[in-house]
Amino acid sequence: MTRRHVPEPSAGLAGRVALVTGAASGIGAATAHRLAAAGARVAVLDRAFEPARTVAAEITDRGGEARAYRVDVSDGDAVTATVARVVTEFGRLDLACNNAGVPGVLADTADYPPSVWHRVLAVNLTGVFHCLQAELRQMRRQGTGGAIVNTASVAGLRGVPGASAYAAAKHGVVGLSTSAAVEYAAAGIRINVVCPGLVRTPLPTFATADFAAAHPIGRAATPEEIADVICFLLSDAASYLTGAVLPVDGGLAAGTVRP
C-alpha cells in the first residue's frame, strides 16, 4: 500500500503574500511572525502603527519580508484602500488573518454603554466584514484561490455574562465566516474560524483567576499556540478544510467546570 504524502503544517506558505490585522501585538503579532518564518511575505496591519512597524522590523531583521500599515478596520474605505496598497506593493494577496478586535467593558446588558456597544460591533464584527469583502474581491480577481482565517472567540460559541457586545460580535463573526465559506468554496477560497479561550496578551481582557481555572487544560494559551493553528488553517495542510469553527480554548467549550 502506498502511503499518501501528508503536507507539513506550513506547506504552501513560502512566497505567498499574507495580510494580518491586529498584528501589532498578541495573536496577530505571533501569527505574522509564524507566517514569515514559514516563508510568507507579510503585511502587518494595525491601528497602532509604531508597534506594527516594530513587528515588521523584527521580521525583516530575521530575514523575512514584512511591511507595516496603519488602518482602523471599522473604516471600510480605509480597509479597501489599505488592501489595495498591499496588493500594489506586494503584487497579490494569497492569505489573510482578520484578527483585530477590542474587548469592550464588563457590564450587564441593561447597563451596557451604547457607545461601547457600537464600537465593539464596529471593530469586532463590521471590521471583519470590511476586511473580508476587500480580501475576497482581490482573491476573486486573481482567480487562484486563497485562504482566510477570522479570529472569533470561545465567546462566539457560548454566552458570556457581562460581555454581551463582545459575545454578540464574535457570534456574528462565526455566522459571517461560515456563510462566506460556502459562497466561495467553488472559487478555491477557504475561510475558517478560530475561537480562542483565554490568551496571555498585553490587551485588556475580562480574565480572572477563576476564568483561567475554568479551562480544563488548566492554563491560558500563549499567542503562539493560537498562531500555530491559524497558520495550519492558512496552509496547504488544511486544503480540504473550509467553514470550520475551531475552538482553541483548552477544552473550555467542550465541558463544564467540575464541582
Backbone angles phi, psi at 175, to 5 degrees: -65, -40
- Is residue 69 part of the annotated active site? The answer reads no
Taking the C-alpha atoms of residue 253 and residue 257, their distance in angstroms, rounded to an integer, is 10
Assess contact for 180 and 243: CB atoms under 8 A. no
Fill in the DSSP letter of residue 155: G
Enumerate helices (H) and strands (E) in the chain, giving the number of each: 8, 7
Question: Coil, helix or strand for 193?
Answer: strand
User: Which grid coordinates belong to 8?
Assistant: 507539513
Of the candidates 112, 166, 184, 240, the residue annotated as catalytic is 166
Report residue 258 CA to chain centroid gap.
31
Q: Which residues are catalytic?
A: 166
